[in-house]
Amino acid sequence: MGQTGPLLSVKNVSKEFYGNVVLQDVSFELHEGEILGLVGENGAGKTTLMRILFGMPVIAETGGFKGTIEIDGRPVSFSSPFDALDAGIGMVHQEFSLIPGFSTTENIVLNRESMRPSLLNEVFGERMSILDRTLMRQRSESAIAKLGVTLDPDMLVTEMPVGHKQFTEIAREISRDHSRILVLDEPTAVLTESEAQVLLTSLRRLASEGVAIIFISHRLQEVLDLADRVVVLRDGVVVKDSPTKGLSIRDIASWMVGRSVSGETEQQDSHRTLGEPILTVEHLWVDMPGETVRDVSFSVQRGEIFGIGGLAGQGKLGVPNGIMGLYPAGGLIRLGDRALTLNDPAGALRAGMAFVSEDRRGVGLLLDESLDWNIAFTAMQVHGQYLKSLLGGLIKLRDEKAMAELSQEYINLLDIKCTSHKQKARELSGGNQQKICLAKAFALKPQVLFVSEPTRGIDIGAKKLVLDTLRRYNREYGTTIVMVSSELEELRSICDRIAIVDEGRIAGILPAHRDSADFGLLMAGQVKETHAMEASRE
């Protein structure tokens, strides 16, 4: 079977949420052993499409969908994920769904454990059977072997590195007897580069055994490397369905955003005139879990865009969080010629600094409040703006009108896609939420703006917009920006100088136009500090 027709075909699928069309007439086919790359910007409808495919109840609750899904040429309709599993569709979600206190084996064969009859069966029936640990172990080992990776079958999930969790989850999906279609939603997002390579290799292996794979990823290079065919979604419509052979990243990227994307690294005009040092940091330590800063000193000049890079967990995120008073910190920080009190978020804001947190949903937004609250709140609390006085200044009330005007201004300026300034922040897509965070910081009119991972988890189009906005603010208002990012290329495209943080210390500060290999060496801890300092002085 399957040699003639497609294994899975999606025909004219449309879906709307409360009148908001998210998928329109989407059709594509998937053949046995084929790897299909599904790409699109945030909010393009990828997740919704996968939810439909997997029979998630949220789809039925919101009015179902139009169109048909066929497996082996027969139309199917799933009312729950269990139906989808029975039909041979396995899904690996962005967030892990593993039981932390269980071992690899137990997670892989969960709810399909091998049983041995016991005495109690006579009385209480099947439910009293005993687990057949040996057989379970064999089954999980065979699933792991099929993946071609090494996993300890007895390791508890809590003790696993992230990569192993991802593999465990995939192993669980392929250990089902009749898994024929595997859907992976951003499986490499949490993996290191080498782990991602291993994953891609095992996926290829699975495909060669006849499993059809739908691979969703933001990392276009991976999609190009792995997929046989790529389907590009834009605003709920399939804009391109083509074999990957001969495509370049730029082709896919431009289909995704619907406009041609200029090269990612725009070289800076390397000799800009910058002002006197505005922010001086000396011997900063920050106790931020997972991102400890031990001893960091640097100084930023007025009007500069200063980058802080480095590998995850080395402490680069701790720097802005410590300076802004969100985590216990010590050291000496001077803004202009004033020394700053540490561990005082209100003081840091009042001094003229602002911070766009890397934890957008956790720290950056009031998800359940309207956009105007999100944008105006900090300025209101810190500078007393957007308040109107009543009774001769005795009572100050929220000035809803001024708040609305402010948010409308930023909605237009940053091209934030929303129904109105009264929409809840939760309902926006990741990129638009990030823009709200930026608007909140801009509304403070800061002298020094810290932005932490401003492009994490948002798509190419929004990324470019965010970076352009930062650059424009820097050029037009002279705002000094300190940007922390894991993506070196992004830092190089916008910053004047970049500091690399390694093990809680600055490994070196280099001008952005230096070769990326130099930065790579700093990240790897290859360069002695003295050497790096020399380089920064050139």
Partner 1 sequence: MQWRLPVNNIKTFIQDFGWPRIIIFLFLVSLFILAPVVGVRLDASISDVMNRFGQYAILVLALVPMIQSGAGLNFGLALGIVAGLLGSTLSLQLELRSFLGFFGAIGLATPFAVLFGYFYGKLLNKVKGEEMTIAMYVGFSFVMLMCIMWLILPYNNPTMVWGYAGKGLRTTITVEGYWLKILNNFLAIKIGEFFVFPTGLLLFVALCAFLMWVFLKTKTGTAMTAVGSNPDFARASGISADRMRLISVVISTFLGAVGIIVYQQSFGFIQLYTAPNPMVFPAVAAILIGGASINKANIINVIVGTFLFQGLLTMTPSVINSILQTDMSEVIRMIVSNGMILYALTRKTKVSK
Task: Choose which of 5, 57, 63, 520 interacts with partner 1 (CB under 8 A).
Answer: 63
Per-residue string for binding with partner 1, 10-49, x by CB under 8 A? ----------------------------------------
CB of 424 vs partner 1, minimal distance in Å: 10
Q: How many residues make up the chain in this entry?
A: 538
Nearer to partner 1, 306 or 373 (CB): 373
CA-to-CA distance for 274 and 446, rounded, in angstroms? 17
Instruction: Judge contact between 244 and 37, C-beta under 8 A.
Output: yes
Q: Which stretch binds partner 1 (CB under 8 A): 115-123, 134-142, 365-373, 529-537?
A: 365-373
CA distance 453 to 359: 9
Sign of CA dihedral 423, 96, 46, 190: positive
Our finding on whether 381 is near partner 1 (CB under 8 A) is: yes
Alpha carbon distances (Å) from 429 to 184, 362, 423: 20, 15, 12
Q: Which range binds partner 1 by CB under 8 A, 30-38, 188-196, 230-238, 396-404?
A: 396-404
Name which of 427, 421, 379 is nearest 401 in CA terms. Answer: 421
Beta-carbon count within 10 A of 378 CB: 17
* Residue recorded with tokens 């995120």: 317
How many residues line the site for partner 1 (CB under 8 A)? 32
Give the shortest CB-475-to-partner 1 separation in angstroms.
27
Q: How far is the CB of 112 from partner 1 (least distance, A)?
A: 26
Q: Which of 26, 196, 214, 326 lies at the binding interface for partner 1 (CB under 8 A)? A: 326
- Torsion (CA) 365, 368, 374, 377 in degrees, nearest 10: -110
442 makes contact with partner 1 (CB under 8 A): no
Among positions 362, 412, 476, 517, the unique one binding partner 1 when judged by CB under 8 A: 362
d(C-alpha 264, C-alpha 455), whole Å:
13
Q: What angle do CA 491, 492, 495 make, to 5 degrees?
A: 70
Identified binder of partner 1 from the candidate list 373, 442, 473, 519, rule CB under 8 A? 373
Distance CA 186, CA 222 (A): 11
The one among 115, 387, 402, 413 contacting partner 1 by CB under 8 A: 387
Q: For partner 1, give the closer residue by CB, 290 or 384.
A: 384
Q: Least separation, in Å, of the C-beta of 357 and partner 1? A: 6
Segment contacting partner 1 by CB under 8 A, of 34-42, 174-182, 330-338, 345-353: 345-353
Q: Does 369 bind partner 1 (CB under 8 A)?
A: yes
Could you say which of 190, 363, 521, 535 contacts partner 1 (CB under 8 A)? 363
Candidate list 52, 198, 365, 495; residue touching partner 1; CB under 8 A: 365
Classify residue 462 by its DSSP letter. H
According to CB under 8 A, which one of 101, 246, 289, 384 is a site residue for partner 1? 384
Residue 97 contacts partner 1 per CB under 8 A = no
Rounded to the nearest whole angstrom, what is the least distance from the CB of residue 368 to partner 1 in the complex?
5
At 9, which amino acid appears? S
Chain-centroid distance of CA 124 in Å reads 49
For strands 329-335 and 338-339, give the pairing: antiparallel
434 binds partner 1 (CB under 8 A): no
416 binds partner 1 (CB under 8 A): no
Strand, helix or coil for residue 272: coil
**How far apart are alpha carbons 226 and 435 in whole angstroms?**
32
**Contact criterion met (CB below 8 Å) for 67 and 11:** yes
User: By rule CB under 8 A, what string of x and - marks binding of each residue 275-294 to partner 1?
Assistant: --------------------
**Interaction between residue 256 and partner 1 (CB under 8 A):** no
Amino acid 395 reads I
- What CA–CA distance (Å, rounded) separates 4 from 460? 37
Site residues (vs partner 1, CB under 8 A): 63, 324, 326, 345-350, 355, 357, 359, 362-369, 373, 377-378, 380-382, 384, 387, 395-398
